[in-house]
Amino acid sequence: MSPAQFGRESAATGEWKRQGNRFVDRIRRDSSSKPGEGPDDQGRWPVEPGRYRLVVSLACPWAHRSVIVRKLLGLEDAISLAIVDPVRDDRGWRFGLDPSGRDPVLGIEFLSEAYRKTDPSYDGRVTVPAIVDTLSGLVVTNDFPQITLDLSTEWTEYHRPHAPQLIPADRAELDQLMDEIYREVNNGVYRCGFATSQEAYEAAYDVLFARLDVLEERLADRPYLLGDTLSEVDIRLFTTLVRFDAVYHGHFKCNRNKLTEFPNLWAYARRLYQLPGFGETVDFDQIKRHYYLTHDTINPNRIVPKGPDPRAWLP
């Protein structure tokens, strides 16, 4: 697959830009819809346990966030989970891990079927995570930044006892950090990997490592990015860090340093990995097979590296 199939690029500069999210309805406690109905006139769907299906790839860092948050909050019984095959082709994400090659709840072979049912004219890239309404088969949202926030704020009635408060009451610092980390780290590795000019690649590379240097310093005197408490921004950074040495360092040419060469970031990432909900949701095999087998322009021979050794993440 070409970089353009994951977003778009500027022919003039070679800079890669991520495709926007098409489906941005939200599941809200204040929806005027009744259980079993569709969205209200403001695009809000009702919170209703057992109704929605979260479709993810364990390879995808954007989807991985929602898997971690769902588990930390104890929403496994409220929102079901579908996992697609990590190796996608031109037809998009496929339910190839299910014995029948079909999602047992939605009854579809490809996530694109739900996208097209929701919008028959849709011709963009099909992305995960996506939340699908099991009653209608329609995509509620593929707005990955909002999905995890809403799991924290709109589904509180169904959180497990003593679930972590991932969003502090004062969100100013959280929102600033999430924005910086998204632009310069989470999306920054892709801007390196999918750049089509030397200038665009080097600019993205410099921004990425400048931000990692700042984060390395920030973590010198605190266990989490906001201090002593785990928050949403830690989850967002973790899903990039856990893929860094296995994929981004070599495959995306983000090779000034390995994660293991940042003492504070490496200790932080390993600490998160060993917490419930983090390491148990990481699948290095699926991560490596997705990146190395689907990016034909970057890895035309489709060789999947054997390392690094995942035991380094363990105590």
Residue 285's contacts (CB-CB under 8 Å, 6 or more residues apart) are none
d(CA 183, CA 237): 11
Q: Are 238 and 272 in contact (CB under 8 A)?
A: yes
126 marked ligand binding residue: yes
Structure tokens belonging to residue 272: 């998160």
127 marked ligand binding residue: yes
- Residue 190 known to be catalytic: yes
**Residue of 52, 115, 190, 205 marked catalytic:** 190
62 marked ligand binding residue: no
24 marked ligand binding residue: no
Q: Are 265 and 219 in contact (CB under 8 A)?
A: yes
Structure tokens belonging to residue 3: 């970089």
d(CA 310, CA 288): 12
**Residue of 60, 205, 254, 273 marked catalytic:** 60
d(CA 120, CA 37): 21
207 marked ligand binding residue: no
Q: Are 117 and 134 in contact (CB under 8 A)?
A: no
Return the closest-CA partner of residue 163 out of 73, 260, 87. 73
Residues annotated in the binding site, as ranges?
Answer: 93, 125-128
Residues annotated in the binding site for glutathione, as ranges?
Answer: 93, 125-128
What is the set of active-site residues? 60, 190
